Amino acid sequence: MEATTSMLDAAAVGDLVLLDPLTEESLLRTLQERFRRSEIYTYIGNVLVSVNPYRSLPIYTPEKVEEYHNCNFFAVKPHIYAIADDAYRSLRDRDRDQCILITGESGSGKTEASKLVMSYVAAVCSKGEEVDKVKEQLLQSNPVLEAFGNAKTIRNDNSSRFGKYMDVEFDFKGEPLGGVINNYLLEKSRVIRHVKGERNFHIFYQLLAGGSAQLLQQLKLRQDCRHYGYLNRESAGLPGMDDAANFRAMQDAMRVIGFSPAEVTALLEVTAVVLKLGNVQLGSSYQASGMEACSITEPQELQEICELIGLDPSTLEQALCSRTVKARNEMVVTTLSVPQGYYGRDALAKNIYSRLFDWLVTRINTSIQVKTGKQRKVMGVLDIYGFEIFQDNGFEQFIINYCNEKLQQIFILMTLKEEQEEYVREGIKWSPVEFFDNTIICDLIENSKGGILAMLDEECLRPGVVNEDTFITKLNQLFATHKHYESKETQNARRVMDSSLPARCFRIHHYAGKVTYNVTGFIEKNNDLLFRDLSQAMWAARHTLLRSLFPEGDPQKVSLKLPPTAGFQFKASVATLMKNLYSKNPNYIRCIKPNESKAAMVFTPELVLAQVRYLGLMENVRVRRAGYAFRQLYGSFLERYKMLSTHTWPRWAGSDREGAEMLLAELPYPPEELAFGHTKIFIRSPRSLFDLERRRQERIAQLATLIQKTFRGWRCRTQYQLMRKSQIIISAWFRGHTQKNKYKQMKHSALLIQAYARGWKSRRLLRELKSQRQRHTAATTIAAYWRGHQVRRVYKRCFRSGASACLANFIYRRLVQKFLLGLQKNLPSMSVMDQTWPPAPYKFLTNVNQELRSIFYRWKCKKYREQLTPQRRALLQTKLCASELFKDKKMLYSKSLQQPFHGEYLGLAQNPKYQKLHAVAKDKLVMADTVRKVNRASGKTVPRLLLLTTEHLVLADPKAAQPKTVLSLSDIRGVSVTRFSDGFLALHLKETSTGGAKGDFLLVSDHLIELVARLHQALLEGTGQALPLHVTDQFSTRFQKGNMAVTVVESAKAGSDVPVCKKRGSHKMEILVH
């Protein structure tokens, strides 16, 4: 209801076919009013007119997608989703290939409209991993093509500088399979030149802003845009556009499409080459012959370009500065002037970029194209330039407007064809429609024998002097009498004075208006020549991608045939496009730019009116209204207008057509205003439709009044009945409440009387019980006193004399018995290390408890000793001997407690090397260890093997394993050690000993405590005398040359356990210990 009302709003109709009266002013006023209401979409039949709002609107949400999915085209508000849905359902359900033609001038929102169409189709398709992959690849082709084909212009920050036609292919279920993209007329002149306030193609700025430092270094680029001539050496800043983020989005899109890292790198390298070509500077010089020549003034840029593409710099320099011409079967090399050199450089840059863009489109097609053999349906989306009329119109505008003439031609023919088919299908007589047929204009431009393009190609191929003057002269001669062509010369011939038409210009009367074209540059742009030397230089490069872009540079395939001109190529492309569009069902989207400043929601009537004329919207409306302005299915028409007849309201029992005929028969409309088809009702003029709508609004107001009256009566009756019911309920509740309160009061009184009666009874019983308890207590007290008196009398007579001693002895015996039984249960463990003991429970048992503890511990130790083996007993005796000798005397003793005494540390029995030493010791070995003997003369230490037996102490050489010194234990007169944690000891010998001729021995042992303890035991067992042990820091030793005073000094220079011996003169020695 809401959508239909919007469509038929007389102030802002949703379908311009319903405008009455139909004038340019009413059409413009309708578009402006709808734009003011943020309704940017309007229909012309099934053609959509879109006005760019230059801001985001909340009309593209997933909820909107769902609203327009499978909708009735005219049952919802005008929207681009409705066009896309109608095209998609026609393709899926009726098996008709579709195409969506999007036209409009730069900045009118064509690119955004194509994105919305693609996103809607992607949203309503079925889901699946493979389907999602195809949809993602199709959608991701946009960021890549926008980066390389779009640029910022004065009119649009993201203007498409090429035409794009994409065929999206579907299977029989309507799921996307892939697609094919065709591009038309890339504006490659923008690569080398753009006006102030515009920018070059986006990719250059995105690469410099978003490329990493490593990537830019690899491409030999600087991040500053002002360094590059092709970027006009201007800053790259553009409000609202993040070039770095767009570059990353483009790279992600390439990965989704299927570009390999090597392909991306090669693509960026060629892009960098184009950018750097603009910095190649040429200078003039003169040859010996006096001829002017050009040369490279900055070889650094040329060197970097050649490093990127793998080419010898001299080859590229020669191609840029000279040209090879074939004359009479001879190859002649001619030098180029500086302007010619710059022309060749710019032509090379344009050709590289143009061919790179074609390669990019082909590469995307390779990824998204459908495998052959699959049956498929096609939906084409055409995003192409609209009609252009500038102050100065050149070759590009001529080509663009030619394409729009062809599109207008197909629009008129397809619209009339669709109208005719609908009338035939509905059984309504078709009357021919008069309209402007622009075939004469298309023929003027494209006629292969006498068209403007044919004349331009002929002029480009003609030998001799060729310039624009000869071209315009030929056009004036050929089209002197053509009513859609005029120039200064033809006007003079017709005696027409028009100062707005310059001399080197011609004017064509297009369907959208008159356009004046300046022929300057027509021949150069149509030829689009690239010197063969430059093509061959690019072929010679080792860069695979760049080499593939110039197949004509192959010396083996040199052809003297001139390449096709730009006009010829575009004409062939347009012919292919037209053939493709004729095979499909067309859907049109006409985009309009509301203002030049790109301001949000600003509508400039003059600008919009010019575009209305360019787009031929008035012509569209007239063609659509050639027969009947309005048509609708009988069912929908009857549902909307059935309240206008008493026979059809409120419901109709017959068929929908009969109901519509009955309804309209009662209304005052002439028969020629109406036509009844098989399924639809046709109304000729919008005036009749608006009259129907007016009658419907009036009838709706009457019905609304009737409904309100009926509703108010029902509401009042209902309210009265509710009040009456409420009053009855309130009365019943009030009476019940009163009776409940009366009952509660009577109940309370009864309970109060009962309570007083029970209280009186209880108090009387309590008094009786208290009296009874007092009597019982008195009797008990008297009896107790009496029994006590009797017992005291007997006690005094029999037990009082010896009772205290007897009781005391009994108590003491009971306490001692309890103590001993408790001690039996809580005895400590049998470990000799466990010295715990339970405390005495009473103070008088303290001494007994200590004595029992001592007895138990001695008994426990006796049991432990009885369990010891002889070896273990001997080891413990040695430990005990060490404790008696060193405890609290030497710091090393505490460390030896945890170390077991092994005695034999050399392994004499196992090592064959020590057989002789083992024989010396035999069964009398007490200890065998390695010691270090201190040299008496220098203080240095040497290793020795020490063997202690029950009778001797032997020092042996560890290498030869031969005894060097054998001392009898009786020759030892004492041992001196330090009080520190070192292993130093002095072995004092008797002067009469046979082995002590050289004097006392100074030794260092790692097992000092064990050695001295075992020596003490051996000496005690062998001689019966204890070993004299001196623990001191100063002592005297006897050497062969005299006595030596030894002083022990604590110093950090010594090791942790190893002492350092230093001689201080002939009779002093210092022992440094830690």
Out of 187, 388, 446, 1010, the active site residue is 388
How many CB atoms sit inside 10 A of residue 1003's CB?
A: 21
- Residues in a beta bridge with 929: 946
Task: Check residue 779 and give its pLDDT.
Answer: 93
Contact predicate 552/559, CB 8 Å: yes
- DSSP class of residue 1027 equals P
1024 is catalytic: no
559 is catalytic: no
Q: Which of 274, 131, 133 is nearest to 190 (CA)?
A: 274
Residue 2: per-residue pLDDT: 47
Instruction: Give the number of other Cβ atoms within 10 Å of residue 345's Cβ.
Output: 21
- Set 4, 30, 111, 351: catalytic member: 111
pLDDT for 714: 95
Q: Copy the structure tokens of residue 811.
A: 């108590």
Q: What is the dihedral of CA 924, 925, 931, 937, to 10 degrees?
A: 10
| List of residues 6+ apart from 796 with CB closer than 8 A | none
Q: Is 160 a catalytic residue?
A: yes
Is 159 a residue of the active site?
yes
Using omega within 30 degrees of 0 as the cis cutoff, is the peptide bond preceding 650 cis?
Answer: yes
Nearest to 549 by CA among 344, 251, 301, 349: 349
Looking at residue 7, its pLDDT comes to: 57
Q: Tokens 């890339």 — which residue? A: 186
Round to whole Å and give the CA distance between 97 and 88. 9
H/E stretch holding 1062 reads strand 1060-1063
Query: CB within 8 A of 879, min separation 6: which ones?
Result: 901, 1013
Instruction: Decide: pTM greater than 0.85.
Output: no
Using an 8 Å Cβ cutoff, are 440 and 408 in contact? no
Which element (helix H / strand E) includes 100?
Answer: strand 98-103
Burial of 577 (0-12, 13-18, 19+ CB in 10 A): buried
Q: Which of 14, 104, 107, 109 is catalytic?
A: 107
Q: Is 451 a catalytic residue?
A: no
Active site residue 107: yes
> Which long-range contacts link 799-804 to residues 24+ away (Cβ below 8 Å)?
none
The pair of structure tokens assigned to 318 is 């020669």
For the chain, the distance separating the N- and C-terminal CA atoms, rounded to the nearest angstrom, is 106
| HSE of 852, CA atoms in CB hemisphere, 13 A | 16
SS3 state of residue 166? strand
Report pLDDT for 901: 85
Q: DSSP for 339-393?
A: HHHHHHHHHHHHHHHHHHHHHHHHHHHHHHPPPTT---EEEEEEE-------SSB
C-alpha span between 405 and 864 (Å, rounded): 123
C-alpha 1026/C-alpha 1018 separation (Å) is 9
Could you say which residues of the chain have pLDDT below 70?
A: 1-11, 74, 128, 288-290, 326-329, 373-375, 430-435, 464-465, 558-561, 626, 799-803, 922-923, 995-996, 1053-1057
- In angstroms, the CA 236 to CA 200 distance is 10
Backbone angles phi, psi at 903, to 5 degrees: 80, -60
Which of the 8 DSSP states describes residue 109? S
Secondary structure tally for the chain: helices H, strands E: 33, 31
What's the rounded Cα separation, in Å, for the pair 307 and 310?
5
- Find all residues with CB under 8 Å of 712, minimum gap 6, and list them: none
Q: Which of 4, 6, 42, 106 is catalytic?
A: 106
Amino acid present at 903? G
Residue 929's Cβ-side half-sphere holds a number of Cα atoms within 13 Å equal to 23
Q: CB–CB of 592/51 below 8 Å? A: yes
The residue from 149, 278, 386, 659 that is catalytic is 386
Q: Return the pLDDT at 877.
A: 84
Q: In this predicted structure, what is the pLDDT of residue 29?
A: 93
Choosing from 159, 271, 896, 976, which is the catalytic residue? 159
The verdict on whether 156 is a catalytic residue reads yes
Q: Which of 1024, 1028, 1013 is nearest to 874 (CA)?
A: 1013
CA distance linking residue 81 with residue 102, whole number of Å: 14
Per-residue pLDDT at 1: 42
Exactly one of 103, 141, 156, 949 is catalytic; name it.
156
